[in-house]
Amino acid sequence: MDHVRLTETARALVADGKGLLAADESTGSIRKRFDAVGVESTERSRRDYREMLVRTPRVGDHISGVILFDETLRQEAADGTPLVRLIESAGMIPGIKVDRGAKPLAPFGSGETVTEGLDGLRERFDEYASMGARFAKWRAVYSIGDGRPSAQCIHANAHALARYAALAQEAGLVPIVEPEVLMDGDHDIDACFEATELVQRAVFQELAGQRVLLEGMLLKPNMVISGAEAATQAAPEEVAERTLACFLRTVPAAVPGIVFLSGGQGDEQATINLDAINVLALKIGAPWPLSFSYGRALQQAALRTWAGDNDNTPAAQAAFLAQAQANQKAALGAYAA
């Protein structure tokens, strides 16, 4: 394991307020997004869409890395250039989603899940590294309500996240560790705080047990936020205060950066909340850069504009670049300034 390379890559991914584009939607997930704008999901349409994003002029000034799905890592652009090479030539770092999705946690019927994909992962990492990937991502999900998240769910997913992270570092890839406490539900921000704290404590305990190099990883968590159906929605200032209070309790200072997921927040909400978090982080001297790893919150305006018509590419790229610029400002606490 090359400690220096891992550390340098992790730091590069959060340098200068830059963040990550999560373009790692599975075939099923991207089909739903394409359906919403009337686009048929085919290998070519998926290729054209993602090629449009990574060819956006100056995108590398604001986006440090791109998380890809297995299909996309292997695809070539319309002119035959591998998409990985396009990402690198734009000054961004290619990464790969490696989990195989959340499956029902035994016993069936609990309503909770555990993420699978560890079988054969060492061999997949070797292949992905040879194809140019320099970091990886594994997502675990936890719901709130009716006794959830349970201790069983918390610890099963923490163990899987840690084993994945250790294997990634063995292969020379920076692991992005993504424990997501879902926004789904009508719970208040206090419930999110409690669940997120329990999850983060378990994750870092397991990372230590698997001897994961903290300096060579990134954390991709949820913000501490009200449930999507909650009657009262916490203001950005409260989201910032509770998020930082939770993470200062649970995330070691050795971690080089935190890249928040948007978790179903709208484009503007995700940007405003990230900005509020960084404004407060600058005041209190938080020990890590706090940036973004957004999917829909970066892509939605571009996808609606593109709508499957490559003649719309310039306008779609402008919409995408505007979102990337806004979130880089938010990662520096300068969006609302």
Token pair in block for residue 204: 């870092």
90 Cβ neighbours under 8 A, 6+ residues apart: 54, 55, 59, 60
Token pair in block for residue 154: 């918390």
| Average pLDDT for 79-86 | 97
| Contact (Cβ atoms closer than 8 angstroms) between residue 206 and residue 166 | no
DSSP type of residue 335 = S
Q: Rg of the chain's alpha carbons, rounded to an integer?
A: 19
Please name the amino acid found at residue 281.
A
- Rounded distance between C-alpha atoms, residue 292 and residue 329, angstroms: 11
- Rounded distance between C-alpha atoms, residue 51 and residue 235, angstroms: 36
* Count of alpha carbons within 13 angstroms of residue 172, beta-carbon side: 12
pTM of the model: 0.96
How long, in residues, is the chain?
337
Catalytic-labelled residue, pool 178, 180, 206, 241: 178
Confidence check: pLDDT of 336 > 90: no
264-320 tens-digit pLDDT: 899 999 999 999 999 999 999 999 999 999 999 999 999 999 999 999 999 999 999
Token pair in block for residue 55: 């060819």
206-261 tens-digit pLDDT: 999 999 999 999 999 999 999 999 999 999 999 999 999 999 999 999 999 999 99
Token pair in block for residue 147: 């006794």
Q: What is the pLDDT of residue 109?
A: 74
Q: What is the pLDDT of residue 107?
A: 83
CATH no. of 3-331: 3.20.20.70
| Average pLDDT for 124-138 | 98
| pLDDT > 70 fraction of the chain, expressed in percent and rounded | 100
- Look over the chain and give the mean of its residue pLDDT values, rounded to a whole number: 96
| Average pLDDT for 84-111 | 94
Domain ranges of the chain: 3-331
Q: What is the pLDDT of residue 210?
A: 98
Catalytic-labelled residue, pool 18, 97, 137, 220: 220
- Rounded distance between C-alpha atoms, residue 121 and residue 113, angstroms: 20
User: Is 329 an annotated catalytic residue?
Assistant: no
| Contact (Cβ atoms closer than 8 angstroms) between residue 62 and residue 90 | no
118-130 tens-digit pLDDT: 999 999 999 999 9
| Contact (Cβ atoms closer than 8 angstroms) between residue 137 and residue 24 | yes
Confidence check: pLDDT of 337 > 80: no
| Average pLDDT for 87-107 | 96
Residue ranges of E strands in the chain: 19-23, 63-68, 93-97, 102-104, 113-115, 135-142, 174-181, 218-219, 258-260, 290-294
Q: What is the pLDDT of residue 110?
A: 83
User: Is 220 an annotated catalytic residue?
Assistant: yes
- Rounded distance between C-alpha atoms, residue 278 and residue 79, angstroms: 41
| Average pLDDT for 183-190 | 96
